[in-house]
Amino acid sequence: MNLGYIDRFAKSLIREAGHKIRISFYSQIDVESKAEANDLVTNIDKEVERFFIQRIRDAFPDHKIFGEEGFGDQIHSLDGIVWLLDPIDGTMNFIHQKKNFAISLGIYKDGVGMLGYIYDVMADDFYHAVKGEGAYYNDERLPLLEVTRLEEAVIGINASWVVPNRRVEHEPLIELVAKCRGTRSYGSAAIELAYVASGRIDAYVSMRLAPWDIAGGMVIAQEVGAVATNLKGETPHLLGTDTFIVARPGLHDNMLRNHIRLK
């Protein structure tokens, strides 16, 4: 696996896709709902995924692609080289806000994250990492994360987990919200992961994410010493949906131990 070559290829593909997304605002955007009414997809999500797949297949015919919109391969294992792609993470923001969405891409070899990318398209902010070589925000190397107390932490959490819901006990999360310095919710799991890795927030937690939401961000998070697991404290599954937390060391443990009780 020629990491340097794949890295340069992936970065230029992401930038080209970002340009396509930005100019899409000058054309008609068709919005559809998927299985659930609030799970949105547009013609642009689909076009961008097809663009990636065609280019990746031309350049690397033996690589597999696991994309949210389903134009890639049927993936039953992470053997070999697998690209895990979300062409637009934060589609609701793409539609409603025209900002705060990202391209999220992780490239894994036999289940190990080798390359990770999160491109905040409208901010033109690029977070990227090569396993073992550190993580970067644009051209700036990101420092290792230090431990933070909950009382000084800003936590990324969606308000829907702090009211009665079927996945997690909400009372311990109310305590978490009361104890921490503040909460944020950006509406793109990939951007929230990038924000944890770059120290803009201190933790991000979700009850249900897909492999393409977290694959790229996990490579970046690992390079700065952030701890990323599912809510049982295990490595998140990358073949199906799972719970998810990423946080500074120490804070991860505190949140899991004291504030998260799955139903």
- 167 is written with which tokens? 């996945």
Q: How far is the CB of 38 from Ca ion (least distance, A)?
A: 13
CB of 146 to Ca ion, least distance (A): 29
Residue whose CB is less far from Ca ion, 86 or 242:
86
User: By beta-carbon distance, which residue lies closest to Ca ion?
Assistant: 89
Residue closer to ligand IPD (CB basis): 44 or 129: 44
Q: What is the largest CA-CA distance in the chain?
A: 52
**Which position's Cβ is nearest ligand IPD?**
189
Minimal distance, residue 104 CB to ligand IPD, in Å: 8
Distance, C-alpha 136 to centroid of its chain: 15
Dump the DSSP string for 55-105: HHHHH-TT-EEEETTS-S---S---SEEEEEEEEE-HHHHHHTS-S-EEEE
> Residue 187 Cβ, how far from ligand IPD at the closest point, in Å?
5
Indicate the SS3 state at residue 131: coil
- Which residues lie near ligand IPD (CB under 6 A)? 68, 86, 89-91, 158, 187-189, 206, 208-209, 213
Binding partner selected for residue 256 from ligand IPD, Ca ion, none, CB under the kind-specific 5 to 8 Å limit: none
Q: With respect to Ca ion, which residue has the nearer C-beta, 245 or 256?
A: 245
By CB under 5 A, name the binding residues for Ca ion.
68, 86, 88-89, 213
Residue 202: which of ligand IPD, Ca ion, none does it interact with, CB under 5 to 8 A by kind?
none
Q: How far is the CB of 26 from ligand IPD (least distance, A)?
A: 22
At residue 115's C-alpha, the angle toward residues 120 and 106, to 5°, is 60
Which CB, 3 or 31, lies closer to ligand IPD?
Answer: 31
Sign of CA dihedral 144, 150, 152, 155: positive
In this structure, what token pair is assigned to residue 132?
Answer: 């073992």
Per-residue DSSP letter, 168: B
Q: At what angle do helices 171-179 and 251-258 cross, to 10 degrees?
A: 140
Q: Which of Ca ion, ligand IPD, none has residue 187 at its interface (CB below 5 to 8 Å by kind)?
A: ligand IPD
Minimum Å distance from CB 90 to ligand IPD? 5
Rounded to 10 degrees, the C-alpha dihedral 89/110/62/50 comes to: -10
* 243 interacts with, out of ligand IPD, Ca ion, none, CB within 5 to 8 A per kind: none
